[in-house]
């Protein structure tokens, strides 16, 4: 029972930290605020995460692991790689739908100079997971040659993440949709 309770507290801390990072970035990971959100004492967080860097690393890792599962679910449920690619921007749109949040990794990447190395590696892993998935879908759909897949995948990832940032800066989810449509019209994303 105690182990289950401890696991639940750790998960609650990670969930609260994810929300804070999506709203305020790495700089928004404050043990006192997180403890208040979880309903524990601030010192209790140190039992699970002895310092902010370890918490940031765990949150960023969990984030890309969750996205990797989401991308695999898209692949498994889409009738074709082209349909999977069409669904890709929806992952970024979901963050905007949740109180105008943005991708945790995009937010943290903007804090590059302040990130401890282990946190930065997990943030970079998010980009790598997205790029690898996009590349696989692009090649499977025969939209690019395998040698060109990674550069096209990086362009798509950057464009969609950028659209999310621009839309957040205006608090306008419809701007995100408009930008995604323009990427489709220009041929960056499939129609």
Q: Determine which helix (DSSP H) or strand (DSSP E) holds 160, and give its type and residue range.
A: helix 146-170
Tens of pLDDT along the chain (191 residues) come to: 334 456 699 999 999 999 999 999 999 999 999 999 999 999 999 999 999 999 999 999 999 999 999 999 999 999 999 999 999 999 999 999 999 999 989 999 999 999 999 999 999 999 999 999 999 999 999 999 999 999 999 999 999 999 999 999 999 999 999 999 999 999 999 98
Contacts of 109 (CB under 8 A, 6+ apart): 123, 127
**What whole-number distance in Å separates Cα of residue 29 and Cα of residue 32?**
9
Give the residue from 186, 179, 11 showing the smallest Cα distance to 89: 179
Using a 10 angstrom Cβ sphere, with 0-12 exposed, 13-18 middle and 19 or more buried, the burial of residue 110 is middle
**Torsion sign (Cα): 157, 152, 66, 178:** positive
Reading the block at residue 53, the tokens are 């860097």
Using a 10 angstrom Cβ sphere, with 0-12 exposed, 13-18 middle and 19 or more buried, the burial of residue 174 is exposed
Domains of the chain, CATH where assigned: 58-186 (1.10.357.10)
Max Cα distance, the chain (Å): 56
Contacts of 103 (CB under 8 A, 6+ apart): 22, 92, 95, 126, 161, 164
CB 107, CB 20: distance < 8 Å:
no
């Amino acid at each position: 029972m105690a182990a289950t309770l401890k696991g639940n507290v750790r998960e609650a801390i990670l969930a609260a930290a994810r929300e804070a990072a999506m709203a305020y970035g790495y700089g928004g990971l404050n043990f006192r605020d997180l403890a208040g959100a979880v309903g524990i004492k601030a010192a209790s967080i140190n039992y699970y995460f002895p310092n902010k860097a370890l918490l940031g690393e765990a949150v960023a890792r969990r984030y890309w692991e969750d996205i990797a599962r989401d991308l695999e679910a898209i692949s498994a449920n889409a009738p074709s790689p082209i349909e999977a690619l069409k669904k890709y921007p929806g992952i970024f749109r979901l963050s905007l739908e949740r109180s105008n949040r943005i991708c945790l990794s995009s937010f943290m990447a903007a804090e590059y100079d302040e990130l401890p190395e282990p946190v930065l590696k997990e943030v970079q892993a998010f980009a790598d997971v997205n790029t690898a998935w996009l590349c696989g879908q692009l090649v499977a759909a025969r939209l690019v040659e395998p040698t060109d897949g990674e550069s096209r995948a990086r362009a798509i990832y950057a464009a969609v993440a950028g659209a999310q940032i621009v839309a957040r800066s205006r608090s306008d989810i419809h701007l995100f949709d408009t930008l995604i449509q323009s990427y489709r019209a220009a041929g960056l994303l499939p129609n």
